[in-house]
A and B are shown apart, each in its own frame.
Chain A
Amino acid sequence: MKVIKHILFVVLIASCNAGLTQDLTSKAHAMFQAKNYDSAQVWIDSAIVTKEKYNSQTWQLRGLIYRKLETPQTPQYREVAIASFVEARKTDTTGIYKEKINEYLTNTIIRYYNDAVTLLGEGKYTESERAYVTYKEKYRALLVINENFDARDIEYFNALGGGYTKQLSQLTGKDYDIVFSLAINSLRKVLEIDSMNYLANLNTAVLYYNKGADLIVNQAPDTPIEVFIENLATSEQLFLQALPMMKKAFAINPESVEVIEGMAGIYFGLNDDENWMIYQTMLDKINLPILLENHSKDPTNKETLKQLVRIYSSTVKDEAQYLLYKSKLDQLGG
């Protein structure tokens, strides 16, 4: 391919010397329309070193050609396309192409956004964030200096926080701590824009809660008592960090099962029985019909029976129901 390009370039130089420079953009355009983008590239790159460089359309075409030529192997072509559109705007002294060029720029710059989304889906979170930041920087530098990205930031960083959180289940030790911080920081960016964002509050609270609970639940059985006591204190702090955010999530969406469960979990972890019972009762009232249905489908399921016994004896007190399910459980050997 390089050889062909070189031959074409030599032919072009010869043509230029023969005084045919006005045709270079047209030739590039013909190649572009014929979808022969490699040839189009050679012609257009020749055009910009002639007096055709003063023609905005030459630069517009160059941007379009390079945009077509961009592949994962030639990511630099996107930058060439953007630089060409910028040059096209400069040479458009009357401004007749302004709208069109800006559309070209928008559609090229959005590729960084698309990259961010694709990388997010692939679990390449660092690269995704880099692409997202580039998208915003380019957009502001070349299109709308005061563009408000709040809505996109909220959507993007909530998703990024979710992505990091998903990774946490496979990590331990320092790796866990690093990704935990990345998840918290992503969600914090959302909360800085909108402190009442439901998803960011809920997920931040759950992150803190899970970290606190896992610190206790997952420790080695023979952890020295003094270390264990320190861990209890750390867990307490994490639960206390989770609480105000879960409260906000509850204020926004008081019927969400996961929020009610989160409130119950945090208060349980904080040994606050009074508040725990409030949310556990809410949760049990929601879950009771499901448990009863499960029991009717599978009457020998001990876990379901245990839950029913617990609920009827504690949160949704009903002596008759309690005795009924207790006897069923006893018959199954507890």
Chain B
Amino acid sequence: MNKKLYIGLLALVLMSATDRATMQSQIKDTRSVAKAMFIYSFATLIDWPEDYRKGSFIIGVLGTSNDVYDELSVKYSGKAIGSQEIVVKKFAARTDIDKAHILFLASDKSDQITALTTQLKAKSTLIVTEKEGYLTKGAVINFVLDGSKQSFEISKSNAKKYNLVIASKLTGLALKVTE
């Protein structure tokens, strides 16, 4: 085989190899995965009152986007918190919410926080938000950024209002804890 032919071969091989090298950098939804993972961890590190320790363990999502809901459904539906099986629900409207152990209020519905806290006043629902300053509006846990990575802050006083007991391990991992 002569040199020219080999160089031709090289061009072909390199072309296909560099073709492969041009990897598809499809955007991966790291945010929803992180939020769903945190929400599941909250479920394992918080104690609910006695009357919430029976039946299904309900994680609700109120929001337009399905990303966090889908992630929770796919990865955590059917898993257990103690003896309770996790059921993930997506609520179309705030008024649909009856009983939930955790309610994730997505940012696109965050304007409902005041009405929601009023609605859930007598219940033991862990309200999780993703909007700056929302601990002051009644959320127990609020997703915030630590630099450019996902973190969370906790309001102990709001947790008390809902009769929720937060494990010290969880408060120790929070970016900020307000009393």
Chain A interfacial positions (CB closer than 8 Å to B): 106-107, 110, 113-114, 117-118, 120-121, 155-156, 158-163, 165-166, 199, 202-203, 205-207, 209-210, 212-214, 216-217, 219, 221-223, 225-226, 228-229, 232-233, 235-236, 239-240, 258, 261-262, 264-265, 268-272
Q: Say how far A62's CB is from chain B's closest CB, in angstroms.
A: 21
Residues of B with C-beta under 8 A to A163: 17, 20-21
CB distance from A85 to the nearest CB of B (A): 15
29 residue pairs bridging A and B, Cβ less than 8 Å apart: A114-B1, A117-B13, A120-B17, A162-B17, A162-B18, A162-B22, A165-B21, A166-B20, A199-B22, A203-B22, A203-B23, A206-B23, A209-B25, A213-B28, A217-B29, A217-B30, A221-B40, A221-B75, A221-B76, A225-B41, A225-B169, A225-B170, A232-B149, A233-B149, A235-B30, A236-B147, A240-B148, A268-B30, A271-B150
Query: A225 — which chain B residues lie within 8 A by C-beta?
Result: 37-38, 41, 45, 169-170, 173
Q: Is the CB of A121 within 8 A of B23?
A: no
Q: How many residues of B contact A (CB 8 A)?
A: 43
In the complex the two chains form, is B14's CB within 8 Å of A159's CB? yes
Dominant secondary structure of chain B at its interface with chain A = helix
* Most A Cβ at <10 Å: residue of B27, B28, B45, B145: B27
Q: Which of A159, A214, A270 contacts B13 (CB 8 A)?
A: A159
Bound together, the chains give a CA A222 to CA B36 distance in angstroms of 11
9 smallest CB-CB distances across A and B, nearest first, come from A162-B21, A159-B17, A225-B41, A213-B28, A265-B27, A270-B148, A221-B75, A262-B25, A206-B25
A222 to B150, CA, bound (A): 18
A268 touches B27 (CB 8 A): yes
* Minimum CB–CB distance for B115 against chain A, Å: 23
A117 with B25, Cβ < 8 A, contacts A221-B40, A221-B76 known: no
B45 touching A271 by the CB < 8 A rule?
Answer: no
Cβ-defined contact, A271 with B25, below 8 A: no
CB within 8 Å of A: which B1-53 residues: 1-3, 6, 9-10, 13-14, 16-31, 33-34, 37-38, 40-41, 45
Shortest beta-carbon distance, B150 to chain A, in Å?
6
Contact of B37 among A214, A228, A239, A272 (CB under 8 A): A228
Given contacts A162-B21, A203-B22, contact A271 B149 (CB under 8 A): yes
- Chain A residues contacting B26 (CB-CB under 8 Å) are 261, 265
Partner of A258, one of B1, B17, B22, B31: B22
The verdict on B79 contacting chain A, using a C-beta distance below 8 Å, is: yes
* Minimum C-beta distance from B92 to chain A (A): 10
Of A107, A114, A223, A226, which one neighbours B10 at CB under 8 angstroms? A114
Residues from chain A with a CB closer than 8 A to the CB of B2 are 107
Q: A110-B6, A216-B34 are in contact. Are A265 and B28 (CB under 8 A)?
A: yes
Complex formed: what's the CA distance from A289 to B38 in Å? 37
Closest beta carbon of chain A to B51's beta carbon, Å:
26
CB distance from B44 to the nearest CB of A (A): 8
B3–A110 touching, CB < 8 Å: yes
In the bound assembly, the distance between CA atoms of A114 and B2 in angstroms comes to 11
User: Contact at B148–A271, with CB atoms within 8 Å?
Assistant: yes
A165-B23, A258-B25, A272-B148 known; A232 vs B18 contact (CB < 8 Å): no
Chain B residues positioned under 8 Å from A158 (CB to CB): 14, 17-18, 21
Q: Are B149 and A199 in contact (CB under 8 A)?
A: no
Docked CA distance A270–B145 (Å): 10
Kindly state the separation between the CA atoms of A216 and B149 in the bound complex, as whole angstroms. Answer: 11
Q: Give the residue name and chain of the B residue nearest to A283 (CB).
A: B27
Residues of A within 8 A of B150 (CB): 232, 271
Does A117 contact B10, Cβ atoms closer than 8 Å?
Answer: yes
In the complex, what's the smallest C-beta–C-beta distance from A53 to chain B, in angstroms?
29
